[in-house]
Amino acid sequence: MFRESLYLVRHGVPWAVVMGWSRARRIAACVVLAEGEGFRFDWEHRVYRRDEEAGS
């Protein structure tokens, strides 16, 4: 929880907003932000991969 919260704050989401979100919403926001940086979340293996590794 703490790492994902810091990741969101580093990307401009205010701490008070992050703390008001459920864990599922924080994870979803992290996935969306990571996709903007060229990553895809592999749900089967629960890891981030670069787009070229994701096979999409």
Domain range list for the chain? 2-54
pLDDT of residue 51: 74
Longest dimension (CA), the chain: 37
**Per-residue pLDDT for 33 more than 80?**
yes
Contact 8, 22 (CB under 8 A): no
Give the separation between CA 38 and CA 35, rounded to whole angstroms: 5
pLDDT at 49 over 80: yes
pTM: 0.79
Across the range 34-56, mean pLDDT stands at 83
Token output for 35: 């996709």
